Structure 1
Amino acid sequence: MTETEPAARSDAARQLSALGVKAGGILLVHTAFSKLGPIDGGPSGLIDALLAAVGPHGTLVMPSMSDDDEIPFDAARTPCLENMGIVADTFWRMPGVLRSDNPHAFAAIGPRAAEIVAAHPLDVPHGLDSPVGRVYEMDGHVLLLGVGHDANTTVHLAENMAGARYLRPKHLTVLRDGKPERFEYRELDHCCQGFALLDAWLDAEGKQRRGQVGYGEARLMRSRDVVDAALPRLREDETAFLHAPGMCEECDDARAALQAGKP
């Protein structure tokens, strides 16, 4: 294929298999469709290729979070957060796809979809008791298509497991007894550019496979390998992923929250 013609869905499926995506597995996908070049069928064509790669006994998972903290989340109607991308926003709307009833939603299809998107807490969106935590415990894989580790929610799981303390105030609007109610909590939050460190850590251990899907870069790794790479670094220095002071407002806010939370 040339870059002037859309990649065929069957070609994309073969690329995914060559990368190491296994039929019957659990695959959590983060993607930026615009980085993959044209694919036959557009976002739906890429989803078809992903489904072909995991097969009928595999489970496909994508983030499906909302960006509106003023209107109660409705799993059947609320669009994805814009930076989730068009593939994620297409995926949750497809027949047979289940979506968790939570503003920090994930969507999934396959034999283990219901387990993965079962009820999860509002105030710890990426802990072990969450879709991303369940993918980890089920020994699933993470696939980055056209995006880097700054989009990899499994790194947030490692932060939670490490007990990182840079918790910043957040709020959501939820329905309680049929009425909107403001829910306030504190969440790990900062600029995620530092997650790019995972590339060197995983590559050094041969824990990340790189390749091409469509016309874009792809990375595949076990969820457990992401956590295993990040967790000891965070336990040694919980600011490992934060910019140095004065370089980034979000990371400065996280550092301030960390200092405020120290005994």
Structure 2
Amino acid sequence: MKSWWRAVVSYPPTWVAAGVLGATVWGMISIFDPPGLLVGVLVGLAALAAATWPLTMSATGTLTKLQFAVPRIEEIDPAELVTLTVELQALDDTQPAEQLEALQQKRESLVKVLTRRLDAGELTYSRYLATAQQVYNAALHNLQEVAVAYESISSIDESYIERRMAELATDDSDDESKARELDTLGQRLELRTSQRRKIARLLAQNESALTALNRTTTALADVPIGKRPEDADSAMEALEELAARASQYAT
């Protein structure tokens, strides 16, 4: 939900009204050249008109609609999803592919339960669905980053590096080429390690997403048909908090 002032500022007619109001006051001052007292009155009236604008938006229901408007979340391109599936299934690590399958299943389950508990035209329905989709999209983005990270280290042979470093460690020579090789080998090993840390972090974030989707689905399933999902609020708040952090994923 947007704060009221963000909703007002993001509403295009607000800027149109502000422009008209400002131009009117400026025009009256320029044309009639009123005394200072009258200028103050005009500015005061303009400020009063600006202050009543949010009240007018609220009275007409516009402010509420803007505050609770659900942002449109784009679906993932099916072709991208197929490509991601193939990439993850080719990995030695089975967790990413398992997460992808689980994400799809859990989102589908949530949508089915949501459809049976709420009317598709309700604002709450749209809110739950959009938030779940945002979390789902963020988790898919994480898996795309995982695939890229694994590809980036696929050519780094850790066993070769460790073996070669061990060989150099037993070499009694103390020349510059040995030091340079040890340094480059160490750099490659660190690159692999940093990418593995990144992968672990992204997969951990996805596990949190899976848990939040499960919790929300279960909470909705416990709501009697036709009743408002007050009991699911805490689960939904956790899901929304996770969605709010979606922009920080993979960073």
Q: TM-score, structure 1 length as denominator?
A: 0.19
Greater strand proportion: 1
Q: TM-score, structure 2 length as denominator?
A: 0.19
Greater helix proportion: 2
Question: Rg bigger for which structure?
Answer: 2
| Higher RCO structure, 1 or 2 (CA under 8 Å, sep 6+) | 2
